[in-house]
Structure 1
Amino acid sequence: MKLKKYFADMHIHIGRDHNGKAVKITGAKSLTLTNILIEASQNKGMDMVGVIDCHVPAVQAEIRGLLNEGLAEELIDGGIRFETVTLIMGSEIEVYDENCKGPIHVLCFFPTLAAIGSFTQWLKNKMSNINLSSQRYYGSVKALQYKVKELSGIFIPAHIFTPFKSLYGKGVERSLEEVLDASLIDGVELGLSSDTFMVNGIDELSGYTFLTNSDAHSLGKIGREYQEIRMEESTFKEFLWAIHQVDGRGINRNFGMNPRLGKYYHTVCKDCLNEASKTQPCAYCGSLKRINGVKDRIQELSGGHILPKRPPYIHQIPLEYIPTLGPKTYRKLLDIFGTEMDIIHQVESKELKKVVPQKLVDAIIDNREGRLVISPGGGGKYGKVVSNRKELK
Structure 2
Amino acid sequence: MQRYYVDLHVHIGRTRSERPVKITAARTLTLASILKEATERKGLNLIGVIDCHVPEVIAELEEMLEHGRLDKLEEGGLRYKDEDVALILGSEIELYDEHCKGPIHVLCYLPTIEAMKNFSLWFAKRVKNITLSSQRIYEKATFLQEKVKSLGGLFIPAHIFTPFKSLYGRGVTRSLTEVFDPSLIDAVELGLSADTKMADQIAELHHYSFLSNSDAHSTPKLAREYQVMEMKRPSFLELKKVLKGEDGRRIVANYGLNPLLGKYHRTACERCATPVQGNEKVCQNCGSTKFIKGVYNRLMELKNTDEEATRPPYIHQVPLQFLPGIGPKTLQKLIEKVGTEMYILHEATESELAEAAKASIVELILKARNGILAIQTGGGGVYGKIL
Q: TM-score range by the shorter chain?
A: over 0.9
Instruction: Kindly report which structure 2 residues correspond to 1:63-212, keeping only aligned pairs within 5 A, or say none.
Output: 63-83=61-81, 84-212=84-212
Match of 1:364 in 2: 365
1:272 CA drift (Å)? 3.9
Note the C-alpha offset of 1:290.
2.2
* Worse-superposed segment, 36-45 or 296-305: 296-305
The answer to which of 71-80 and 317-326 deviates more is: 317-326
Q: Report percent identity of matched pairs.
A: 51
> How far apart are 1:328 and its partner, in Å?
1.4
Moved more, 158-167 or 302-311: 302-311
CA distance in 1, matches of 2:218, 2:278: 33
* 2:329 alignment counterpart: 328
Q: Which amino acid aligns with 2:338?
A: F
CA distance in 2, matches of 1:338, 1:291: 40
Match in the other structure for 2:294: 293
Give the distance between the partners of 2:138 and 2:16, measured in 1 at CA.
28
Cα distance between partner residues in 2 of 1:78 and 1:209: 20
1:94 partner SS: strand
Q: Which amino acid aligns with 2:370?
A: E
Give the Cα–Cα distance (whole angstroms) in 2 for the partners of residues 88 and 278 of structure 1.
Answer: 44
Q: State the shift of 1:326 in Å.
A: 1.9
Unaligned runs of 5+ in 1: 387-393
Q: Distance in 1 between matches of 2:306 and 2:257?
A: 25
Residue pair 1:278, 1:290 contacting (<8 A) in 2 also: no
Moved more, 260-269 or 299-308: 299-308
Question: In 2, Cα distance between the equivalents of 1:320 and 1:271?
Answer: 26
> Number of residues paired by the alignment?
384
Match of residue 390 from structure 1: none
Bigger shift: residues 318-327 or 159-168: 318-327
Secondary structure of the equivalent of 1:351? helix
Q: Structure 2 counterpart of 1:55, which letter?
A: H
Whole-angstrom distance in 1 between the partners of 2:274 and 2:306: 32
* 3-state SS of 2:8 partner: strand
Deviations 1:265-294 (CA, angstroms, capped at 9, x unpaired)? 111133443212574323515554321110
Evaluate the alpha carbon distance shift between residue 128 and residue 362 of structure 1 in structure 2; reply closer, same or farther with a 3 A threshold: same
How many angstroms apart in 2 are the aligned matches of 1:168 and 1:338?
A: 39
Note if 1:262 corresponds to 2:262. Answer: yes
Q: CA deviation at 1:369?
A: 1.6
State whether residues 40 and 85 of structure 1, in contact with CA within 8 Å, keep that contact through their aligned partners in structure 2.
Answer: no
Q: Which residue of 2 aligns with 1:217?
A: 217
Shift of 1:299: 1.4
Deviates more, 1:298-307 or 1:258-267: 298-307
Gapped runs of 5+ residues in structure 2?
none
**TM-score (ref. length: structure 2):** 0.97
Instruction: Name the amino acid aligned to 2:48.
Output: G
- The alignment status of 1:351 with 2:352, answered yes or no, reads yes
**Partner SS, residue 264 of structure 1:** coil
Equivalent in the alignment of 2:2? 4
Aligned amino acid, residue 366 of structure 2: I
Higher mean alpha-carbon deviation, 154-163 vs 287-296, is at: 287-296
Check whether the contact 2:338–2:356 (CA below 8 A) recurs between aligned residues. no
Give the aligned partner of residue 56 of structure 1: 54
Distance 1:41 1:22 in 2: 24
Q: Secondary structure at the match of 1:311?
A: coil
Return closer, same or farther for 1:280/1:42 CA change in 2, 3 Å cut-off. Answer: same
Question: In structure 2, how many angstroms separate the alpha carbons of the residues matched to 1:23 and 1:165?
Answer: 18
Structure 1 residue 68, shift from structure 2 partner: 0.6
Secondary structure of the corresponding residue to residue 254 of structure 1: strand
1:281 to 1:13, Cα distance in 2 relative to 1, 3 A: same
Query: What letter matches 1:54 in structure 2?
Result: C
Counterpart residue identity of residue 64, structure 2:
L
- Give the secondary-structure state (helix, strand or coil) at the position aligned to 2:247: helix
User: Cα distance, 1:49 vs. partner?
Assistant: 0.7
Measured in 1, the distance between the counterparts of 2:215 and 2:226 equals 10
TM-score by length of 1: 0.95
| Equivalent-residue separation in structure 2 for 1:319 and 1:64 (angstroms) | 34
- Given that 2:269 and 2:283 are in contact with CA atoms closer than 8 Å, whether structure 1 keeps it comes out as no
